Amino acid sequence: MSARRIAIFSAAMAGLAAFAVLYPAAFLFSLVTSITVIYTVWGVYHVAITISGLKPPLNPDTKLDEFPKISAIIPARNEPILGRTIEVCLNHIDYPRDKKEIIVVVDDEGGERIGFWYQQKYPDVIKLLARRQLFPTKPSALNDAMRLCTGDIVVIMDVEDIPDRDVFLKAAAAIKSGWQAVQVILRIGNTEDSWISKVFAMEYAGWFRIMLNGRANMEMFAPLGGTGNYFSRAALRYVGGYEPTNLAEDAELAIRLRIARWNVGTIDARHWEEAPVKFKPWLKQRSRWFRGWMQSFWKYSGVLFKPTVARRMGLSGIFSALVMLISPLIVVLNWISYGVTAYWLLEQAGVLPQVTAGVIPFWSIIPLWFNGLYYYIWIKGAKLEGIKVSTIRILPHMFFYMNVMMPIASLRAFYQELFMQVFWEKTTHQGRGVKWKAAEQH
């Protein structure tokens, strides 16, 4: 972050601190009222999205008269499972071989050897891009790989992905019908590896099956996930590809697609991938995502309301984009909301001394109700996606995941954005993107 932004942030924090010290009652009332208003608007919006998202996602007819060429970009760095992903694209996705093109972009010698071997074996399908001088981020690699794409459709595929057999057919049908960008539902295959991977799988099910599907159904702005994105190559080139320094390049690109008046659809197809099993890799991954959203907030908060952009985005598009971009702030507000509400309840019970007397209104408990909406979305998404969940057993884990792990990741991302240069904290993949029982389907 620039010195100017640090100065603005410091001045704002100093102002809030002075307000709290000089006028504690007014500060507390303003704080509680602001949080309640934010959560109420947030909650009503997500209730509407949830109702829409419970409807089935887009399921296009896969009987194509002609097959547009598809260029699949697989970015990899230090990924020994790269060969498996290439094999999946070649042999396990139903689509004519002569209409497939696989661009393997690697930043390491091991990946270069794997990619070179496949390029030699399948020179008509595989293209290898081994980067020597590089900016070590995924969007930078994607931009470089795009120069080699010759397909009508470009798909971004993470190295741990195993797509459904018919995913190319469905994506091609959707784009031929007029969509410029669609995304699949990401499913977690290593659900049972730990409670973190279980809750992560539930979160993904709620996010992709309900929340993104709901946004698409309501023609609102829908952010992209990091993989399983299918684009018209012409549209991708029109918006300028990826921003190489953004750590949530998918969400940032979705904003530019919306500014170009294109929405992102959700199709009833899946890429199976894996979730982090332990806290440390989860924290690195989530901090990277949150920091990327913060980067996009700094970039677009002053742009979205310009008349030309606002007309293109529409009010619903602007609101939906801002809801996503301030998500890291919302999860931190959970701490304040729960803390103030808990103190108020204990104060009313006579356990703690009277500090908030007459300051905190009874309706300040509203945020707690809307927090429960997220738990419902995750549980309902899991059921819709066939993930076995014992609700009573998983609830404490969900609460810890949402109200402890998420705020820690957000604060870490904010610290990095304030004081550290852009860098890519890579997620290590063990190759367990799909349980073998799921892999057998392919």
Question: pLDDT of 149-186, one tens digit each?
Answer: 999 999 999 999 999 999 999 999 999 999 999 999 99
Query: If you average pLDDT over residues 56-76, what whole number do you get?
Result: 95
- Token readout for 330 is 């919302």
At residue 335 the predicted structure's pLDDT band, cuts being 50, 70 and 90, is: confident
- Token readout for 35 is 């949080």
At residue 1 the predicted structure's pLDDT band, cuts being 50, 70 and 90, is: low
Question: Has residue 76 got a pLDDT over 80?
Answer: yes
Helix axes 366-384, 327-348, angle to 10 degrees: 130
Query: If you average pLDDT over residues 132-145, what whole number do you get?
Result: 89
Per-residue pLDDT, 431: 56
Question: Has residue 442 got a pLDDT over 50?
Answer: no
Helix residue ranges per DSSP H, 245-326: 249-259, 279-300, 307-325
At residue 30 the predicted structure's pLDDT band, cuts being 50, 70 and 90, is: confident
Per-residue pLDDT, 135: 81
Strands (E), 161-306: 162-163, 181-188, 229-232, 264-273
Angle at 278 between CA 276 and CA 280, to 5 degrees: 95
Question: Has residue 262 got a pLDDT over 70?
Answer: yes
Query: If you average pLDDT over residues 246-271, what whole number do you get?
Result: 96
Question: 164 has which bridge partners?
Answer: none
- pTM value is 0.91
Sign for the pseudo-dihedral over CA of 292, 293, 294, 299: positive
- The two beta strands, 100-106 and 70-76, are parallel
Q: What is the mean pLDDT of the chain?
A: 90
Tell me what percent of the residues of the chain surpass a pLDDT of 90: 71
Question: Has residue 133 got a pLDDT over 60?
Answer: yes
Cα–Cα distances (Å) from 402 to 23, 203, 275, 354, in that order, read: 32, 10, 16, 30
Per-residue pLDDT, 356: 67
Query: If you average pLDDT over residues 75-101, what whole number do you get?
Result: 94
Question: Has residue 435 got a pLDDT over 50?
Answer: no
pLDDT in tens, 395-413: 999 999 999 999 999 999 9
At residue 357 the predicted structure's pLDDT band, cuts being 50, 70 and 90, is: low
Weakest-pLDDT range from 3-7, 225-229, 307-311, 417-421: 3-7
Contact, 373 vs 46, CB < 8 A? Answer: yes
Contact, 103 vs 75, CB < 8 A? Answer: no
